[in-house]
Amino acid sequence: MNLHQKLVEIRKNIKGFSKDTKGYDYIFVSGTQILRAVKDKMDELGVLLVPEIDYSTFHWEKHEYVTAKGKEKLDFIVTAKMTYTWINAEEPTDKLVVPWVCIGQQTDDISKAMGTALTYNERYFLLKFLGIPTDEDDADSKPPTEAQRSYSNNYNSKKLSDKQLARLYALANKAGVDKDLVKQQVFKKFNKEVKDLNKQEYDLVCNGYEKAAEKTA
């Protein structure tokens, strides 16, 4: 079998699980139960899954917030672009590369945040790649934590820093777009000034200039 046929066989093996985890008035199929079956079938068919992180895209930030009980908390959030490569062990040139994003969040320790990202990332990748919607760690099965609620509320309301603005203009410059044209393009698209962009809009603009710069390189 080629790699794609083996992946179909792995997916077909994901059936008949019993719901073994309960939380928030719902019963779920645990990720451990699913991953055990996935890994066993991968071993049987000779399929490897190799992760690779692009450390040039590694980014981390601190998120300070106050809990409902008035306690100050500090979380570290890490992100990086990465790929997962499926490899047919019988024919190593037969492979499939899938782009992915590595995300982790932990309290007080950045190394724990990275560890969380690496530990859980493979599980989520397999669940989503193979189309398995149930898991006790699925975001849809849990209410948001205080940190997540706080981060979500602040994500789009924070003003852009001077460092962020400088990065945006630098990316635009690499793409051959000067500062005045950036302002015109942003106002045309979002009907606001560059400094008033929210984080989501800022990321969208930066990614656009970054891709444009790669094409002109």
Report residue 68 CA to chain centroid gap.
Answer: 27
Q: What's the start-to-end Cα distance of the chain, in Å?
A: 40
Q: If you average pLDDT over residues 129-149, what whole number do you get?
A: 55
Same domain assignment for residues 109 and 181: no
Tell whether 40 and 113 lie within a shared domain: yes
Tens of pLDDT, residues 37-81: 788 899 999 999 999 988 888 887 777 767 677 777 778 788 888
137 and 201, same domain (yes or no): no
What's the pLDDT score for residue 154? Answer: 52
Regarding whether 115 and 8 lie in a shared domain, the answer is yes
Considering just the CA atoms, what is the radius of gyration of the chain in Å?
21
181 vs 153: CA distance, rounded Å: 31
Domains in the chain: how many in total? 2
Q: Give the list of residues 6+ apart from residue 115 with CB closer than 8 angstroms, or none.
A: 104, 106
Same domain (yes/no): 57, 90: yes
Weakest mean pLDDT among 41-50, 149-158, 203-212: 149-158
Give residue 148's domain range: 3-155
Q: Domain end: 155, 179, 196, which one?
A: 155
State the burial class of residue 135 (Cβ atoms within 10 Å of its Cβ: 0-12, 13-18, 19+).
Answer: buried
Separation between Cα atoms, residue 27 and residue 164, nearest integer Å = 43
pLDDT of 136: 46
Q: Are 32 and 73 found together in one domain?
A: yes
Closest CA to 146 of 74, 200, 60, 198: 74
Name residue 193's amino acid.
Answer: E
Based on the fold, state whether residues 169 and 85 are members of the same structural domain. Answer: no
